[in-house]
Structure 1
């Protein structure tokens, strides 16, 4: 994968740059792929459901509303993402089991950690356009992430 800084230098007008300073938790600090989305608030049932389907190298963008109250993904859900062939997960919210996530061949970026489990009601939306950090995430658009940040096709 080309570095995001170089990618921006080459194609800046065609890319959005995420202004949020997300932390990297996965074993792959650099990842890229086509976007799929979930919007949920303190309820990870849809995250688990989607990451259990074939990922084909995609990146799941989870708009958790920026909540730090509960984790939206832990090691078990992350392992299902690895097994299903996902490239990464970007969460506008928290994760848990961060040490285990760091040993997995998966890109994971999130706001932070919280050991508290989320609800399992299944509320939210899948594969809709979501936005946070000054970026609009459209299903099917390409996302690039590395140690310098996150870029998304316009």
Structure 2
């Protein structure tokens, strides 16, 4: 973990859940891998299948405090995010990444100033075909995440609020 000072704009998911009892909460399926356990921001969504060039392309863009939500269909076949891409996300200003699938380089990810939650770690890298969709609703962990939804993630879970105006 990095020694990042607390984000004064972050509201804990427990407080948000109390204030918004109908807010969608992801089932507790994702584990913490990044060095920032608390993060939030507007969602950018990807739907892929064991293929990560779209993940790379997104993380190369200015993150502007957004959260990349990667639906890899819950695949346990390979990792779609590793140390190099996560470092790219840090440099580009992404707040975090949620992966419905696997990551790799878990030891390295833990030392980076970015939030990363995923199902598991896997040593195998993904394919590089460039297939998938961006900015589409994705459904996993019992919720549907739309582009622009505000993602709040911390040690207690992951909660969604509608886009902020």
Q: TM-score, normalised by structure 1?
A: 0.97
Correspondence for 1:53: 61
Kept in 2, the 8 Å contact 1:144–1:150? The answer is: yes
1:72-151 matched pairs, under 5 angstroms = 72-151=80-159
**Distance in 2 separating the partners of 1:123 and 1:37:** 14
Correspondence for 2:7: none
* 2:33 equivalent to 1:34: no
* 2:14 equivalent to 1:5: yes
How much does 1:12 deviate? Answer: 1.6
* 2:58 equivalent to 1:70: no
Q: Could you list the per-position Cα deviations for residues 60-89 of structure 1 after superposition, in whole angstroms to 9, with x for gaps in the alignment?
A: 000000001100100000000001000000
Report which of the two has the higher share of strand.
1
Correspondence for 1:43: 51
**Distance in 2 separating the partners of 1:135 and 1:146:** 17
Kept in 2, the 8 Å contact 1:21–1:111? The answer is: yes
Q: TM-score, normalised by structure 2?
A: 0.91
* Structure 2: runs of 5+ lacking an equivalent: 1-9
Alignment RMSD (CA, Å): 0.8
How much does 1:21 deviate? Answer: 2.1
Number of aligned residue pairs: 153
Q: Which runs of 4+ in 1 moved over 6 A?
A: none
